[in-house]
Structure 1
Amino acid sequence: MSPIKILIVDDHQMIRDGIKAFLSGVTAIEVVSEANSAAEAICKLSQHPEIDVVLMDISLGDGEDGISVTKKIMGQYKGICILAMSMHDEEVHIINMLKAGATGYILKDQGMLDLIEAIKTVSIGENYFSKAVSKTLMNQFMRRKKAAPSHKSLLLAMLTKREIEILKLIAEECTNLEIADKLFISHRTVDTHRSNMILKLNVKNTAGLVRYALSRHLIDL
């Protein structure tokens, strides 16, 4: 199996060097390139179409943050996964990064073994949140649940764009094979996304998933 190819985007040379040094001993992951700014990140992606995962710092020093860069990348490169790296665990940063298209969010004070797990997780289309990030999302979820009957925006933020696409097709009674054909992915990937959504929405099965989505208009977009 070929290694997961990554691009590191961070405006601190020391952080990039540290990540590269540690990952150099991980055979399952290959650092293909690095960038210290938003503009350089876009340039590196055009030069290296083989990149699978982008490690994206949220606070870049060139006047453009990681959120806006993530939006650009997701608009141009549909097959790439974005793993956000940040010192910030505030809700606004997390939600905005997820809305931009990131499928993972890891804090910079975590260990390198956690980073490896995060890279491997997002590379197969699953979400990865550090414990502190998960706690922030859950606390906000509970606050909105108490404050109002509708918490659609937060749930949508927790689902990836791909999961929302699959959720729509599930509600239209498409089979896994039909969904796989429509989205040009494998049926096993569809299975993985379906299982992840069942866990996220806390339902028991596909029928519950569809009922939950319809009742909260999650597919009425």
Structure 2
Amino acid sequence: MAEVKILLAEDHLVVRNGIKLLLDSQQDFQVIGDVNNGREVLDLLDNGLAVDVIITDIGMQEVDGLQLIREVSERYPHIKILVLTMLDCDQHVARAFEYGAKGYLIKNVGAEEMLFAIQHVMRGGRYLCEELSMGFIEKAIVRNNNQPVNLDPTELDLTSRELEVLELLGEGYTNLEISKKLFLSKRTVEGHRQNLIDKTKSKNTPALIKFAVQNGLIH
């Protein structure tokens, strides 16, 4: 791989110097500039600075990282952009990739992972740091475990009449209104409602309706 020319955009001098020291110690990397904000990056590019990779923070004055990503991607699409930030929320990650970033790292990332990420995006790939990747996976596992499974009414042994009552309960009808619609006594409707609560192991009627919606029994 030819020497990779890197431009840093980071408004914390100590952090910027630390990254520069790490990258300059690598045989294949050369930091050709380090600036405080996105405006300075754009000025350098507009003046003809040849850059392969921009490593940028998100939260900076004047032109922030997201705006920088968008403008560089539109005007200099050959330049790879790698985010290095403390901001780990899903919205920032998604927006950065949407605007054209090729990688996203959290600032506590290890040196080896940062170097790998730069090499990976230079080869045409995209990279999300391990911490964020595992965070997304853990959230997906939680969502999957909490995802209700649609039930076949036969599994609950619900009668057609109970399903009719359930549908009307879901539409907000009272026991008395349901009794009139189905030509049943109010006591019979109350019995069906209690059977539904018992069969679905719900605490009360609102919990019954929630269960029914989550499991596709009513819509």
Could you say whether these structures have the same fold, taking a TM-score greater than 0.5 normalized by the shorter chain as the test?
yes
CA shift, 1:146, in A, is 9.6
CA shift, 1:109, in A, is 0.6
Residues 37-116 of structure 1 mapped to structure 2, 5 A cutoff: 37-62=37-62, 64-116=63-115
* RMSD (CA atoms): 2.3
With the length of structure 2 as denominator, give the TM-score of the two structures.
0.61
Residues 185-200 of structure 1 mapped to structure 2, 5 A cutoff: none
Q: Is the 8 A contact 1:94 1:133 kept in 2?
A: no
Report the 3-state secondary structure (helix = DSSP H, G, I; strand = E; otherwise coil) of the residue aligned with 1:110. coil
Q: Which residue of 1 is the match for residue 23 of structure 2?
A: 23
Report the 3-state secondary structure (helix = DSSP H, G, I; strand = E; otherwise coil) of the residue aligned with 1:34. strand
Q: Distance in 1 between matches of 2:22 and 2:138?
A: 33
Q: Is the 8 A contact 1:38 1:60 kept in 2?
A: yes
Greater radius of gyration (CA): 2
CA shift, 1:126, in A, is 0.3
Q: Is the 8 A contact 1:91 1:136 kept in 2?
A: no
With the length of structure 1 as denominator, give the TM-score of the two structures.
0.60
Report the 3-state secondary structure (helix = DSSP H, G, I; strand = E; otherwise coil) of the residue aligned with 1:55. strand
Report the 3-state secondary structure (helix = DSSP H, G, I; strand = E; otherwise coil) of the residue aligned with 2:124. coil
Q: Calculate percent identity across the aligned residue pairs.
A: 28
Amino acid at match of 1:5: K
User: Where does the alignment leave 5 or more consecutive residues of structure 1 unmatched?
Assistant: 149-221
Aligned residues: 147
CA shift, 1:97, in A, is 0.7
Q: Is the 8 A contact 1:87 1:107 kept in 2?
A: yes
Amino acid at match of 1:22: L
CA shift, 1:13, in A, is 1.1
Report the 3-state secondary structure (helix = DSSP H, G, I; strand = E; otherwise coil) of the residue aligned with 2:125. coil
Amino acid at match of 2:128: F
Q: Distance in 2 between matches of 1:48 and 1:117?
A: 28
